[in-house]
Amino acid sequence: MRFVLLSLAILAAGCNGPLTKPMIDRLDENSQAKIDEVWENMVAPPNQLDRTLLLDVILSAQLYQHGVDSMRFVSEKTVGDGLVVMEIRFDREDPLFDEFSVSYIDRRGRELRRERYSRDDIDKEINLLFDEAVHVSPAESDSESELTEELKQRQAERMERMEAIQSVLEPMKRSDVGETE
């Protein structure tokens, strides 16, 4: 039993998730083959695993999102009289159509805004916002000359973006006055 848990932990260790970004990770052929083999172990025969073990395996290795052939994830948020609909679409056979979209729909069902983000869009933004090299300050580097012009430009862009993000997220940081306990 320990071997099985250790194997599952190792399999899952290389994976991001659950849903750490609005895009499903694409696996290399070797990783995909391993997950396909796990699924074969789980459902051949169909009732091989009891109900609890089936769920345990799926959760342990995040098989609800890693190595799937396709996925569509939809979340909704009511805002004022409208509705924000966010969708993640993934198809292992058709990577060009992987996307994250955000739509704003009015109460009559009319789409007032729709933004589509490709895998490249998502990866680019994550790299800008979370890349450790961009976080290096001149004081942390050995000398000012170590910071290339490109890195300085990325740092400036990141700082500008972070300030804009913080202004939008400001309500989450406020401590509400008169909050009841």
SS (H, E, C) 119-158: HHHHHHHHHHHHCHHHHCCCCCCCCHHHCCHHHHHHHHHH
* Residue pLDDT, tens place only, 54-99: 999 999 889 999 999 999 999 999 999 999 999 999 999 999 999 9
Residue 39's pLDDT is what? 95
The pTM of this model reads 0.69
Q: Which residue has the tokens 């739509």?
A: 103
Does residue 15 surpass a pLDDT of 70? no
pLDDT class of 18 with cuts at 50, 70, 90: low
End-to-end alpha-carbon separation of the chain, Å? 45
* Digit-coded pLDDT (tens) for 126-177: 888 887 665 555 555 555 556 788 888 888 888 888 888 888 888 888 776 5
Q: What is the pLDDT of residue 32?
A: 95
Q: Which of 83, 96, 41, 46 is nearest to 63 (CA)?
A: 41
Using 50, 70 and 90 to split pLDDT, how confident is the model at 115?
Answer: very high
> What pLDDT score does 162 carry?
86
DSSP state letter for 176: P
Task: Identify the pLDDT of residue 74.
Answer: 96
